[in-house]
Amino acid sequence: MKLDILAFGAHPDDVELGCGGTLAKEIALGKKVGIVDLTRGELGTRGSVELRNEEAAAAAKILGVSVRENLDMRDAFFVNDEAHQLKIIEMIRKYQPEIVICNAIDDRHIDHGKGSKLVSDACFLSGLMKIETEHKGEKQQAWRPKLVYHYIQWKNITPDFVVDITGYNDKRIEAILAYGSQFYNPNSNEPETPIASKNFLDSLNYRAQDLGRLIGVDYAEGFTVERYLGVNSLGDLI
Ligand SMILES: [Zn+2]
């Protein structure tokens, strides 16, 4: 299956938190979108792997993505080496996306910056014909995405561009809250974590509103890029 956009996250919920509104909007515009999670978030303080799997499937359904896969890398301990790059290359060649979106380039959780560089490196390597990979016994063709974007997570990173997600913020929040074990719930007996605080839950809306405010819309999500953004005409940026 060929996809237009493939979004990677080190943990299930990274993609929803980083670019859920953008993906919901692109899907509504007719784009085919998939999600690949690197790990199952098995070291997360709250919840369990089984619960997280169910939550990830529910969130994928809410967003309307065509496919969601998990590469079963080790939470916190995966590294950016040949074996891990080849697993990502196999996904890129399988789905042949024009655009790849991946983790924040730098963040509080060490997997985010690490996952960001791993996916970015694999996007480049995937275009080299002499790197041979197979999927289900069949030799794969080289494929390099045209663009690699990075979403923004815990830290406030200045975006290179923002996407207007007005009209899609409710769906974004619904997909995030599908991870009931991870976020603020005053009735939960699980340990406190930074992302389970009320402050973090509130930040999901106020950051999107703030990024939206700066471009004159209600809600937006921000991204960073790896090369200059090119436009055909000045009007493209209105
Ligand atoms: Zn994460």
Predicted confidence pLDDT, tens digits, the chain (238 residues): 999 999 999 999 999 999 999 999 999 999 999 999 999 999 999 999 999 999 999 999 999 999 999 999 999 999 999 999 999 999 999 999 999 999 999 999 999 999 999 999 999 999 999 999 999 999 999 999 999 999 999 999 999 999 999 999 999 999 999 999 998 888 888 988 998 899 999 999 999 999 999 999 999 999 999 999 999 999 998 7
**pTM here?**
0.96
Going from the Cα of 47 to the center of ligand 1, the distance in angstroms, rounded, reads: 14
Going from the Cα of 17 to the center of ligand 1, the distance in angstroms, rounded, reads: 9
Asked if residue 236 is part of any domain, the answer here is no
Going from the Cα of 2 to the center of ligand 1, the distance in angstroms, rounded, reads: 26
Count the domains in the chain: 1
Q: Are 141 and 158 in contact (CB under 8 A)?
A: no
Going from the Cα of 132 to the center of ligand 1, the distance in angstroms, rounded, reads: 30
Rounded Cα gap, residues 48 and 40, in angstroms = 9
What b-and-e string marks burial along 12-44, b requiring 16 or more CB atoms within 10 Å of the CB?
A: bbbbbbbbbbbbbbbbeeebbbbbbbbbbbeeb
Going from the Cα of 109 to the center of ligand 1, the distance in angstroms, rounded, reads: 7
What is the H or E stretch that residue 123 is in? helix 110-125
Torsion angle, CA of 97/101/105/110, rounded to 10 degrees? -100
Going from the Cα of 9 to the center of ligand 1, the distance in angstroms, rounded, reads: 7
Asked if residue 110 is part of any domain, the answer here is yes
Asked if residue 202 is part of any domain, the answer here is yes
Asked if residue 164 is part of any domain, the answer here is yes
Enclosing domain of residue 71: 5-226
Tokens of 110: 């060490």
Asked if residue 133 is part of any domain, the answer here is yes
Going from the Cα of 117 to the center of ligand 1, the distance in angstroms, rounded, reads: 14
Going from the Cα of 141 to the center of ligand 1, the distance in angstroms, rounded, reads: 30
Half-sphere CA count of 108, side-chain side, radius 13 A: 8
Tokens of 225: 């890029």
Going from the Cα of 3 to the center of ligand 1, the distance in angstroms, rounded, reads: 23
Going from the Cα of 37 to the center of ligand 1, the distance in angstroms, rounded, reads: 10
Asked if residue 199 is part of any domain, the answer here is yes
Going from the Cα of 110 to the center of ligand 1, the distance in angstroms, rounded, reads: 9
Going from the Cα of 133 to the center of ligand 1, the distance in angstroms, rounded, reads: 28
CATH of the domain at 53: 3.40.50.10320
pLDDT (0 to 100) of residue 41: 95
Tokens of 69: 């896969």
pLDDT (0 to 100) of residue 237: 86
Q: Which residue has the tokens 């529910």?
A: 58
Tokens of 117: 């560089």
pLDDT (0 to 100) of residue 184: 87
Going from the Cα of 231 to the center of ligand 1, the distance in angstroms, rounded, reads: 32
Asked if residue 231 is part of any domain, the answer here is no
Asked if residue 238 is part of any domain, the answer here is no
Dihedral over Cα of 41, 179, 122, 161: its sign: negative
